């Protein structure tokens, strides 16, 4: 079990064709997001910080390993929530990294919003303002059975 605090650690990621959508969503939710710690991949984090004046801890750009860095923060239990507006119509040079990030988010029971509607529903949840226990499945026994 991992206990999420009231003040969440939220990763913000978007592919190039979705950055505008994410920035608009962040602007609309700026007041609520200001209550939490924000993280982002390089370009997305830079744009959000510039457009909103919100502090965003920035990692590398996605194609340069930023998605992997966010994934490692999830594994270390330093990210509680992922907002990832990805482009379903365009292949990315780092598609394997994207898949790995989404897989890690599922493994570690991280809420993931991949579009505006999902982000709106999740951020309007009363759980956003409360502590919350995430239950991480122990996949160790399953892995041992295979080998």
Beta strand 37-40 with 132-134 is unpaired
Is residue 28 a contact partner of residue 54, using CB atoms and an 8 Å limit? no
Residue 141 labeled ligand binder? no
Q: How far apart are CA 91 and CA 100, in angstroms?
A: 15
The single residue of 67, 109, 120, 138 carrying the catalytic annotation is 67
Residue 15 labeled ligand binder? yes
**3-class DSSP state for residue 134?**
strand
Is 67 marked active-site? yes
Residue 66 labeled ligand binder? no
Is residue 4 a contact partner of residue 131, using CB atoms and an 8 Å limit? yes
Residue 40 labeled ligand binder? no
Residue 118 labeled ligand binder? no
Residues in the chain: 147
User: Which residues belong to the annotated binding site for substrate?
Assistant: 15, 19, 41-44, 61-62, 94
User: Which residues belong to the annotated binding site?
Assistant: 15, 19, 41-44, 61-62, 94
Query: Which residues are annotated as catalytic?
Result: 67
């Amino acid at each position: 079990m991992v206990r999420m605090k009231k003040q969440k650690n939220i990763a913000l990621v978007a592919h190039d064709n979705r950055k505008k959508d994410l920035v608009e969503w962040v602007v609309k939710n700026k007041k609520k997001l200001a209550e939490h710690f924000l993280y982002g991949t390089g370009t997305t984090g830079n744009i959000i910080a510039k457009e909103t004046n919100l502090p965003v801890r920035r990692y590398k750009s996605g194609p340069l390993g930023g998605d992997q860095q966010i994934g490692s923060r999830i594994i270390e239990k330093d990210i509680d929530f992922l907002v990832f507006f990805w482009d379903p119509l365009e292949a990315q040079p780092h598609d394997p990294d994207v898949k790995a990030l989404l897989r890690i988010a599922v493994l570690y029971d991280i809420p993931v919003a991949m579009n505006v509607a999902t982000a709106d529903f999740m951020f309007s949840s009363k759980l956003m303002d409360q502590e919350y226990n995430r239950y991480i499945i122990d996949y160790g026994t399953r892995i041992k059975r295979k080998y």
